[in-house]
Amino acid sequence: MFDGKFRQSADATMAPVGRVLGRAGLSADVLTASGLVFALATAGCIAAGLFWQAIVLLILAGALDLLDGAVAKATHRTSKRGSFFDSVVDRWSDAAMLGGVAYYLSAHHHGTLVLLPFGLLTTFLMISYQRSKAESLGIPAKGGLMERAERLVLLGVALVSKTIFIPVLWVMLALTTMTMFGRFYRVWQAAERPAPPVASPSRHYGERLRRRVLRASRH
């Protein structure tokens, strides 16, 4: 949902900051790695039950996630390696924060509730994997109720109070499950359509030859 107009406005807002940071000598990879550090700190605070501190760190981690792209564009250093690094770090960050959630639940709640963050992590990874695989096949797969930005926002809402923490996590699981199956269905439908015909090299050569003959006959 936030990948559309929100993402464009956020990129426009972050662009001047990206230029300043770029001139200061900071690289996008450094910011990406710093975001992972803050994500790990967020996980530690969640595990310890320090929810308000976790919210502050989560906001900082999210800001760095936006800034690394802004710096890469400002310094004209966007690359496949940087994109790969950013994507992998996002998955590490998600796993770390949900690990913090699992630790907190195991320490303060009995029974099988600790499996809730495992279910969340499964849907998180499947949503990201489906997009990655679909795009490698030339099929666009953005969109859905709960992409990464929405997931971070909803986790922040859950951290506002220990009273609503678990209910909001269940809501998140329901929404991410819907997103996962919705994305699968859209890609499945798109993959069923026939691929556009690709002209053979001999056909291209024959067309070019025909045009040359026509041009020569006009002269």
Catalytically annotated residues:
90
DSSP 165-190: HHHHHHHHHHHHHHHHHHHHHHHHHH
Nearest to 1 by CA among 180, 211, 135, 145: 145
Pull the structure tokens for residue 162.
Answer: 């220990």
How far apart are the C-alpha atoms of 101 and 74, rounded to whole Å? 36
HSE, side-chain direction, 13 A CA sphere, residue 148 = 22
The answer to whether residues 9 and 68 touch, using CB atoms and an 8 Å cutoff, is no
CA angle 88, 97, 143 (to 5 degrees): 60
Helix spans in the chain (H)? 5-23, 28-48, 51-74, 80-108, 115-136, 148-158, 162-192, 201-218
Pull the structure tokens for residue 131.
Answer: 């997009």
The answer to whether residues 55 and 168 touch, using CB atoms and an 8 Å cutoff, is no
Pull the structure tokens for residue 62.
Answer: 């999210």
Pull the structure tokens for residue 133.
Answer: 């695989």
